[in-house]
Structure 1
Amino acid sequence: MRVSTAQFHQQNIGNILNRQSNTSKLLEQIATGKRVNTAGDDPVASVAIDNLKQQNKLSDQYLKNIDYAKNHLSQTESQLGDAEDIARTLKDQMLSVLNGRHSDADRQTIAKKMRSDLEALQQVANSRDESGNYFFSGFKTDQKPFEFSGSSPRSISYNGDDGVRNSVVADGVALGTNISGSHAFMDAKNALGDYSAKYSSNQSGKFQISEAKIANSSTHVTANYSINFVDDGKGGVNVEVKNGSNTTLAATPFDPKKPISFNGIEIKLDGTPKAGDSVEISPQSNTNIFDTVEKTIALLEKGDVQSEAGKAELAQQLNNLNQGINQIGLARSEAGVSLQNSDSYLARHQDTKLVNTEALAKLEDLDTAKAITDLNREQLALRAASSTYTKVSNTSLFDFI
């Protein structure tokens, strides 16, 4: 077959260009250490590589979110641990007053110590993170959550909300990174049940309410009530229950073995009241640890803890303090569970990244030794093709005539 001069030049130039392209490609692969630098290098592998890199980017974002969540949850759990320790110290002080024999000076000293510890508890509840945001304010991170107002006994107000700041830690999974102050410090259950008690200062009988709960919601009437113990004229005691309008709702002989029942409410007593004693009850399903301690301090400062009413009131506040400690412990355990969950997702994403990285290495990493051998071969072939083309293209028939 005859090969024209144009064909000869075209074939040889094409061969040289292919060798140059192969050499350039190998040089790029050696420089980057990657077998696949463009989709043209290996279209199928390129698609798989892009998918794996996207998965790794998503995992990196999840890992950042988890790091943020772990940091805040760790600090929250630590702050709640400090709050729990302070609350237990306050409990020990209350038990000392309730069970020990102290002078008035001793009780005033204990009151001062309790007030100092209460301020420490408030400081913990108002603590901030490294960015200056309040831990326990919910979504209102720039709002100081807890403030006292009024005179002794002061009352606490919560200025945050119940918002939970979530961090996305996996596909369709959001992890709460905070505990609201209302949940940790304000939502303790009333130890008595659904009503709180206020004892009369002239109480002479040794008794206290152990339970005040709604027994029948269909007949229950929410209101303030007074429970009065009156002489029955036979050496016993009758119970009279009156509402806020001073209307008598019940008048029955007192039986220490049976609860006092009226308007769907049941009241249980420990001890024996005497004629002339009375106690008022008010609706209250939840208590908060700040008000509980503040009321106790007020009792100590006024010197009322030695009276029968003071002892009953102190016992009630001690039970409410236990509820407050339990509530802080519950919130702390929730933070701990979230921390465990974040660790689980952290390990999962780290494993995913490890598997993806190994797969990427198999798809795109270069066998350097083989690439250098191929480069030497291509360079040798390129030099041979170039030399041959140069010599042949310069040959003329006239040289042989």
Structure 2
Amino acid sequence: MRISTGQMFHQNTSSILQKQTATNKILEQLASGKKINTAGDDPVAAIGIDNLKQKNSLVDQFVKNIDYATNHLSVTESKIGSVETLITTMREQLQRGANGSLSQNERQMIAEEMKQSLEELLSIANSRDESGNYLFAGTQSNTLPFEFDSNGEMIYSGNSDVRKSIVASGVTMGTHVPGDTVFMNAPNPLGDYGVNYLASQQGDFDIHSAKITNAGAHVEDTYTFNFVDNAGVLELQVADSTGTIVTTVPNFDPTAPVTVNGIEVKMSGNPVAGDSFTMEPKSSVSIFDSFKDAIALLEDPNAAATQQNSSKLAQLLNDIDSGQNQVSLARGIAGNSLKALESFSTNHAEEQIVNNSALSLLEDLDYAEAITEFEKQQLALNAVSSVFGKVGSLSLFDYI
């Protein structure tokens, strides 16, 4: 078979170019440390590599979100912990100030201490994060969440919504706890109504509960309970906000519950004729209002000498305990979220290890194998080039 000079040159040139291409490819692999640098190197493996990198990018974003949520929840949990400590201190101050043996000046000094503590409590409730957003304002992070109005009542201007962060596929978690959950929505320890004891109280009695037990018969209103003397027998008359008598209990027994328009009221102690108290709807208590009322009680120069002091003190302590339990519950929410975030973070770290291991198998270069292959290709290229050089220099005139 005859081979033309053109064919010989074409075949040898093609062979040299192929060897050079193969050598250059290995050089690229050695430089990058990857055996697949383009989709053309291995289309199937390239798709797998691309999918794994996308997964890792998504996991990286989840990890960033978790770090953000963890930082904010850690600050929130710490602030709530400070609130718990402060509430305990203020409760002790109230109990110390309620001691009947103290002078009014001493009670006033304790009241001043509690005012400072209340200001500190308000400062914590209005804390900001590193971006200047209010921690306890819900999603209205640019709005001052807590302030007292002109009547001395605490107003919450935030909302109950929670800023959330995506921490895993289909999973979102709150990055903070709304302020009303922490400071405002403690359950009323009495139930559904709050009690106002009057300064004229002479008997020693307390209201233990005021709950709606018959929703169908319930009429929401402000009720006044009057104890009257009826021919030497104590009688209870309950009037609504218009002054109309809605319930009369002759021969009143303080150990027996009283039912008024679907509301069951339980009390203990010994009221006397002339005593009176009012009830109004109240499903929750605010730790701020509880301490505000406690300070007012200590500052009242006449409260220490009345039975009202004992009854109101018992109610305030119950309200404060309910508020502290609510704060502890909010701290538990933050703590449980932090624990869940830690679990998600661990899962993501394990997922990244698996993904990176699979990526390594698909794209990482075996340097020993690559160097061996490079030397083989280099040897082959040298051989082809040498043969081409010798064959290309042959001439028929050399044999004549």
Q: TM-score, normalised by structure 1?
A: 0.97
- Paired residues for 1:1-400 under 5 Å: 1-98=1-98, 101-150=101-150, 154-234=152-232, 236-253=233-250, 254-303=252-301, 304-400=303-399
Q: 1-side partners of 2:155 and 2:71: how far apart?
A: 28
Offset of 1:99 from its aligned partner?
Answer: 5.0
Displacement after TM superposition at 1:163 (Å): 1.5
Please, which runs of 5 or more residues in structure 2 have no aligned partner?
Answer: none
Give 1:195 deviation, angstroms.
0.7
Alignment check: 8 A CA contact 1:195 1:282 kept: yes
Amino acid at match of 2:74: S
CA contact (8 A) 1:226 1:281 kept: yes
Q: Is this contact kept in 1: 2:97–2:111, CA < 8 A?
A: no
Conserved 8 A contact 1:183-1:331 = yes
Q: Deviations over 1:275-306 (max 9, x none)?
A: 00000111111110001100110111122243
Question: Shift in Å at residue 239 of structure 1?
Answer: 0.4
Which residue identity is paired with 2:114? M
What amino acid sits opposite 1:198 in the alignment? N
Deviations 1:171-209 (A, max 9, x none): 100011110001110001111111111112111101121
Quote the Cα distance in structure 2 between the aligned partners of 1:294 and 1:180. Answer: 22
CA distances 1:297-331 after superposition (whole Å, capped 9, x unpaired): 01111222431112211211111000100000000
Residue 76 of structure 1 contacts residue 135 of structure 1 at CA under 8 Å; is this kept in 2? Answer: yes
Whether contact under 8 Å (1:87, 1:325) holds in the other structure is: yes
Structure 1: runs of 5+ lacking an equivalent = none
The percent of aligned pairs where both chains have the same amino acid is 47
Change in 2 beyond 3 A, CA 1:184/1:399: same
| Structure 1 residue identity aligned to 2:144 | K
Aligned equivalents of 1:155, 1:54: Cα separation in 2? 53
Query: What is the number of residues matched between the two proteins?
Result: 398
The 2-side partners of 1:321 and 1:366 are apart by 67
Q: CA offset at residue 100 of structure 1?
A: 5.9
Aligned letter for 1:59? V
Answer whether contact 2:98 2:298 (CA < 8 A) is retained: no
Q: Is the Cα contact below 8 Å between 2:185 and 2:285 reproduced in 1? A: yes
Report if the CA contact (8 A) 1:98-1:315 is conserved. no
- Provide the TM-score with structure 2 as the length reference: 0.97
Query: Whole-Å Cα distance in 1 between the matches of residues 99 and 205 of structure 2?
Result: 16
**Equivalents in 1 of 2:70, 2:374: separation in Å?**
50
